[in-house]
Structure 1
Amino acid sequence: MITQCLPASLTPLETAVATLLYEIEAVTPEELPLAEALGCVVAEIPALPSVPARDLAAADGWAVNANDVVGASSYSPLAVVRPPTWVDAGDAMPQHCDCVLDIDAVDTSGPVAEVIVEGVPGQGIRRAGSDVAADRPAIASGHLIRPRDLLTARAAGLETLNVRRPRLRIVNLPGGTATAHLIADHARANGAHVTEIEAAARDASSIADALDPVGSDLLIAVGGSGVGRNDATLTALARRGEVLAHGIALQPGRTAAIGRAGAVPVLMMPGAPDHALPAWFALALPALERLTGRRSRESRLLPLARKIASSVGLAEIALLEERDGAWLPLATGDLPLHVMARADAWLLIPGSSEGFAAGTPVDAYLWRE
């Protein structure tokens, strides 16, 4: 039986992350229809032909060769034996034509058509390969798929995408429902397939039954990771698998724990959202990125509008708001819900740091991705 108490010394965050990520590999790619691929992480995408395949008219008008209408103006109309070819937007450009003139650029009211405007090569044209260059992938590997990426894929004629989508099982203990859904929403936005949010009673046997690793690539238990008399999550994990660390040098979120159920990594986080969120940012997100093969997060480098003070020995999460070209610190340590609602980004302050002085440029991760 595990004694439900924090260890005498907290596990450094860097050690906890390395332990959690040990032997985790990216999941096997799968083909998904475009409608289901939004928010997933791209695996390997084959090189595509040029899109468009040939020059197209970008506007309705007259297709001409710019060299043939040099000098044309309303003061010196250029008479042509036959009117230029009319094209609608999206039509393939006629051979030897390299620009499109507006409708009023050619006067067809008289017996002979007259061009009254010069043309510029490329005017009114979508060049071949301007949307997707030949022999290049439509979306880079390791990239989180956004709506504009799906536009590119559809324009290239793709019907499916090759993605990595880890299966995440969330075990929700009584009192942690709102937090469990918060974590599930974040997980889906970062490429995971949340297979189930399972409610479990607070006793060790019920939690151990819910921590079933079959069909999952990552397990997250929300609630019951503390030292209270009703907190049995650690005992449950010990029955199902192995506790690797309990008590992380992370503020807030010190009662988080990591372990294994078979070969599946397990993260146990507090039930309160302000304590669970740092565990998500600092521990769960790196694990999910390893499983998806994601290569980078969106971040922004801006100076701090005011200083951030931090305690040496504890890694801390600071929430930031972008204001007047700088990061304004909103909260460090305590993270009230109203502050979460305002935050644009978050910053992980290492346990070795005392914080940052006002004006220091910091590269914060965008929360509103």
Structure 2
Amino acid sequence: MTALVPLEDCLAQALSGQGPVLSEVVPVTAARGGILAEPLVFPLDTPAQPEALRVGVAVAALDLAGASASLPIPLAHPIRVLSGDQLPPGADAVLPAVGLETLAGGLVAIQTVAPGEGVRRAGHDGRAGAPIAAAGAVMTNHVCHVATMAGLEVCHLRRPRVRVDLPDPRHQAFIEGFLTALGGKFVAEAPDLLLRPSDDAEPRLALAPGDTAWLEREGAMLVLSVPRRFDAVFAACVALAMPAMAALTGAKALTETRPLTRKIASGLGLSHLVLLTRQDDAWVPGPAGSVTLAALAAADACAILPPHSEGLPAGAMLAGIPLNFPLG
């Protein structure tokens, strides 16, 4: 039997010299799930002009100094505003209805107001040049929303071209969803990453589960051979496809470090995939090297124990990769 290749060695030979793919300009409305190639920043002060935070009359606060019920101050040209309206030039506050009275057919102020009161100042939500998201971050729903509200129309993404050719439609659909969350763009020709079924029945990779998975380079293309069992399919996605997509996008795996509620046992010589479930501020680990559909449905994160490990004791700190947002 041929000795199994450590996971780190497989990744090193496949990803050596691999740089991120070229960036492309994508409308913000179509960028959800993509990996940013350049930082996203506020193009202008947002809001660009002061806005009313409440209903009332736009005023210059210093003009109302000393105003009271016994000393009302007439408002020569009162401009009523609603919440969200831009303030007219010269106004720096919004006087609410309780501070107004009608006297001799005109509005008067019967209370003072401080400069900036009832107002969202220019740049309150974000100053021009302030960061929205860093390069390598995922364009999540809320980042897309912030970018749109800030007035951005396009962004620069790295979207590796991916092709998945698997005989099992369930595995095909699962992996396509997995790669979509990593910023992949599916193509029929010239992919950066091709996933195809593994034809090698002999174990090759020191990974549990997933010992018949393999990642290698064929010319300019990365090729991931995917096992036929679902648990090994998932292991191949986490251990091989995720690092490949990180290299192609320039992103990094996100981690959450928490203590273990119980020990994990694993054998020497193999990298073991472990599913993790959040419990308060800790991880509840599943069995090392085991993935079931029920366990995956309940899991929040996963980790790969290195081959030199013999497991971890209860209370040990473990960095888990979140399943919902693994890169960013």
State TM-score, norm by structure 1. 0.79
Query: How far off is 1:298 after superposition?
Result: 3.4
Q: Which residue in 2 is equivalent to 1:40?
A: 34
Q: Which residue in 2 is equivalent to 1:343?
A: 299
What is the SS of the residue equivalent to 1:172? coil
Structure 1 residue 305 and structure 2 residue 261: aligned? yes
Q: Which runs of 5+ in 1 are unaligned?
A: 1-6, 197-213, 228-245
Structure 1 residue 58 and structure 2 residue 53: aligned? yes
Q: Which residue in 2 is equivalent to 1:190?
A: 182
Q: Which residue in 2 is equivalent to 1:362?
A: 318
Query: What does the per-residue CA deviation read over 1:9-44, in whole Å, with 9 as the maximum and x for residues that have no partner?
Result: 111111111112112111111122223211011112
- Assess, with a 3 A threshold, how the Cα gap between structure 1 residues 116 and 44 changes in structure 2: closer, same or farther: same
Asked if the contact 2:75–2:109 (Cα under 8 Å) also holds between the matched residues in 1, the reply is no
Query: What does the per-residue CA deviation read over 1:44-101, in whole Å, with 9 as the maximum and x for residues that have no partner?
Result: 257522222121223322223445556767xx56511116532122322233433323
Q: Which amino acid aligns with 1:61?
A: G
Q: Which residue in 2 is equivalent to 1:159?
A: 153
Structure 1 residue 81 and structure 2 residue 74: aligned? yes
**Distance in 2 (alpha carbons) for counterparts of 1:303 and 1:359:** 5
Asked if the contact 2:18–2:248 (Cα under 8 Å) also holds between the matched residues in 1, the reply is yes
Please point out which of 180, 194, 211 is paired with 1:219. Answer: 194
Q: Which amino acid aligns with 1:222?
A: P
Query: What does the per-residue CA deviation read over 1:217-265, in whole Å, with 9 as the maximum and x for residues that have no partner?
Result: 01111353423xxxxxxxxxxxxxxxxxx71111111111222222211
**Distance in 1 (alpha carbons) for counterparts of 2:317 and 2:113:** 49
Query: What does the per-residue CA deviation read over 1:250-283, in whole Å, with 9 as the maximum and x for residues that have no partner?
Result: 1111111222222211111212121111111111
RMSD: 2.5
- Assess, with a 3 A threshold, how the Cα gap between structure 1 residues 353 and 64 changes in structure 2: closer, same or farther: farther
- Assess, with a 3 A threshold, how the Cα gap between structure 1 residues 301 and 105 changes in structure 2: closer, same or farther: farther
- Assess, with a 3 A threshold, how the Cα gap between structure 1 residues 81 and 70 changes in structure 2: closer, same or farther: closer
Q: Which moved more, 1:134-143 or 1:251-260?
A: 134-143
Q: Which residue in 2 is equivalent to 1:318?
A: 274
Q: Which residue in 1 is equivalent to 2:210?
A: 253
What is the SS of the residue equivalent to 1:338? helix
Q: Which amino acid aligns with 2:59?
A: V
Q: Which residue in 1 is equivalent to 2:229?
A: 272
**Distance in 1 (alpha carbons) for counterparts of 2:178 and 2:81:** 48
Q: Which amino acid aligns with 1:181?
A: A
Structure 1 residue 22 and structure 2 residue 16: aligned? yes
Asked if the contact 2:198–2:212 (Cα under 8 Å) also holds between the matched residues in 1, the reply is no
Q: Which moved more, 1:153-162 or 1:14-23?
A: 153-162
Query: How far off is 1:312 after superposition?
Result: 2.0
Query: How far off is 1:146 after superposition?
Result: 0.9
Q: Which amino acid aligns with 1:272?
A: R
Query: How far off is 1:109 after superposition?
Result: 6.1
* Sequence identity percentage: 35
Query: How far off is 1:148 after superposition?
Result: 1.6
Asked if the contact 2:265–2:312 (Cα under 8 Å) also holds between the matched residues in 1, the reply is yes
Alignment length (residue pairs): 323
**Distance in 2 (alpha carbons) for counterparts of 1:195 and 1:77:** 76
- Assess, with a 3 A threshold, how the Cα gap between structure 1 residues 88 and 338 changes in structure 2: closer, same or farther: same
Q: Which amino acid aligns with 1:288?
A: M
Asked if the contact 2:40–2:133 (Cα under 8 Å) also holds between the matched residues in 1, the reply is no
Asked if the contact 1:225–1:257 (Cα under 8 Å) also holds between the matched residues in 2, the reply is no
What is the SS of the residue equivalent to 2:13? helix
1:108-119 superposed matches below 5 A: 108=102, 113-119=107-113
Asked if the contact 1:303–1:326 (Cα under 8 Å) also holds between the matched residues in 2, the reply is yes
Structure 1 residue 131 and structure 2 residue 125: aligned? yes
State TM-score, norm by structure 2. 0.88
Query: What does the per-residue CA deviation read over 1:278-330, in whole Å, with 9 as the maximum and x for residues that have no partner?
Result: 11111110110111121x33332222121222222211111111122221113
Asked if the contact 1:249–1:314 (Cα under 8 Å) also holds between the matched residues in 2, the reply is yes
Q: Which runs of 5+ in 2 are unaligned?
A: none
Q: Which moved more, 1:86-95 or 1:258-267?
A: 86-95
**Distance in 1 (alpha carbons) for counterparts of 2:40 and 2:153:** 13
Asked if the contact 2:40–2:135 (Cα under 8 Å) also holds between the matched residues in 1, the reply is no
Q: Which residue in 2 is equivalent to 1:285?
A: 242
